[in-house]
Amino acid sequence: MPSTISKNSISSTWIVFVSLIPISLFFYTFFAYVTNIPFQDDYDALLEPVTKFTQLSPFSWKEFIHIIWVQDDERRIVVDRVAATLIYLINGHLDLRIQMFIGLLSLLGFLFLFYTIIKEAQLPVLLVVAASFLLFHIQYYEAIYWGMIPLQHIVVHFFALLSAYYLYKPKASHLTLALGAAILAILSDVSGTFVLPTGLVLLLLQHRWKHAGIWVLVIGGMIALYYYQLVVPAYRPKLSDNLQHPWLILYNLLSFSGLSADLNTVLPFKLRSGLIMATGLSFWCIVIYSAFFFIKPSFQHAKVAYPRWKITLWGGLIHFSITILAFAVGRAMEGTQAVLISRYKHMGFIWLILISILVFSQLRPTLRWARIWTILSVFVCFFSYFEYLAPLDYYYKERNTDMYGWENNRALPSSPIYLSLQSAVDTITTQSIRAGVYDLPNDYFFEMPYQVSADLFTLETKQMGHALVFTNEQFIRSVHKNDGAYILLKNASQSHYIPTRQKRYSLKSFVSSLGKHYYANGFHGSFPVEYLQPNTQYQVWVVVIHGGVKVLHPTTYRLNALPNFAVRISQS
């Protein structure tokens, strides 16, 4: 007999306690690494509109709506901008840490919706624990720590799932709530517009013809308004261009669908991609096969009453299916490398959770299988911290050295696009600071004072194209957040700090050492030569931070920046 949520021997208290473990670790890590530093689209997406809001004198609703409605890239992000404006009004300035935290709270909303599906489907309560471990980890750290992303790319899927949650009952109040959630999804991101076909399918399958008509009128009208005068940027490939590459579309479709199976650096790229696409293919087989049994009753009976859990589950599956297909087409010419990045992995894991619940609801396995799935989920969660803590650490240091670079040198080394948009970014940032919208960091953890060492630091320096590359094979660092080596390029008027990527031990070494072997010997770092002042000489130093102690080491290198992005590297 299958063990149901009402008949299992595991206490609710124990389930809550275990579920809180990944949640607590997730938010502990979030607060440890979060910064109030804008990144790429944050400048024109958040800083600029809030600054324009402060310049409304007198206040005008028409102008305010225009400010939050103006498109960002290929979408409108009204929810993001309204939240940023409210944070400014309440807090006195825009704090991107609050912006991100509010968006990440939607993950708790996801977990609640998963809980209701599991409970009402009478599935093993352990699936809630599994969902918690699969949802709260740092594989998608770029989505977590990028100011605008949580209230865009994460919240949009929560509102879409919440909309489906309220579409199970033919009551006007429930339809109103579903419409409200759907509109919020649309106002969060362009993928929110997929609530139109999702909701329409769910209503038609329930034979709710009148509500389906209302849905098309209201949501269709909202989407028409959303797309009105929305212009696809010139740097984005046209739909017709993407459709000329059907194999790339298929690769992206399977890769996006199987993102949760990405073992990253553990496997060679071909094996890594093969595993991901095989997983994606199996997921589509499960969804398509199960969809037949989901829609079958609608064609066999004049009146169909689907349970809420089934409507919610399939609402999520339909919405994600359309989102994945749209992304596969829209990013076809960019290849699978545009898919296999941290920023999108939250969608891969939400998709995985939905499919796992679907499988359990179809097969009704014993509690033993729920235990096995939960154990696998725990391993996935802790593997995520092993595999992605080092990239997160580097990402955190990049944001800080970037902001220092902009404040002191008007340089954003990690954002190549800055070179072509420097005037606009500088204007937005300067105006936001003057208006009191954004506050620069009070200090930077890698700055002086230093203990100066006379010991030369071993370093190899060379130019590769438009980048200076620095490597070392001996240096070892601890796991503390700010620790590590930083390259310092210094001349009479500039100081460029460059974070380094520390090498890391393999998963096997980490496990066999019981967690003692994480960072391995050696590092590398790079810096765009475009930011060097021509016809000047730079001294190369290395700042080593260990346990809060900052030591400045000399090297033998001198860099002579020449015209046309050439650098003469010499040793003394």
Whole-number pLDDT of residue 1: 41
Q: Is the dihedral of CA 90, 91, 93, 97 positive or negative?
A: negative
Mean pLDDT of 187-196: 96
Q: Reply yes or no on whether the pLDDT at 8 is more than 70.
A: no
Confirm if 131 and 352 have CB atoms less than 8 A apart: no
DSSP code, position 191: G
Q: Reply yes or no on whether the pLDDT at 466 is more than 60.
A: yes
The domain locations on the chain are 12-390, 445-571
Predicted TM-score (pTM) of the model is 0.93
Count CA atoms closer than 13 A to 29's CA, side-chain side: 24
Mean pLDDT of 220-227: 95
> Rounded to whole angstroms, how far apart are CA atoms 33 and 479?
13
Specify the higher pLDDT residue, 303 or 95: 95
Q: What tokens were used for 71? A: 């498109």
Report angle CA 482, 517, 457 to the nearest 5 degrees.
Answer: 55
- What are the backbone angles phi and psi of residue 396, rounded to the nearest 5°? -60, -45
Confirm if 17 and 75 have CB atoms less than 8 A apart: no
> Rounded to whole angstroms, how far apart are CA atoms 315 and 118?
15
Residues 469-515 have pLDDT tens digits of: 999 999 999 999 999 999 999 999 999 999 999 999 999 999 999 98
Residues 242-296 have pLDDT tens digits of: 788 888 989 999 999 999 999 988 889 899 999 999 999 999 999 999 999 999 9
Mean pLDDT of 14-42: 95
> Rounded to whole angstroms, how far apart are CA atoms 339 and 333?
11
Mean pLDDT of 131-138: 97
Q: What tokens were used for 330? A: 């829209």
Burial zone of 381 (CB within 10 Å; 0-12 exposed, 13-18 middle, 19+ buried) = buried
Class of domain 445-571: mainly beta
Whole-number pLDDT of residue 4: 47
Specify the higher pLDDT residue, 3 or 399: 399
Mean pLDDT of 79-99: 97
> Rounded to whole angstroms, how far apart are CA atoms 521 and 506?
12
Burial zone of 332 (CB within 10 Å; 0-12 exposed, 13-18 middle, 19+ buried) = buried
Q: What tokens were used for 282? A: 């199996």
Whole-number pLDDT of residue 425: 94
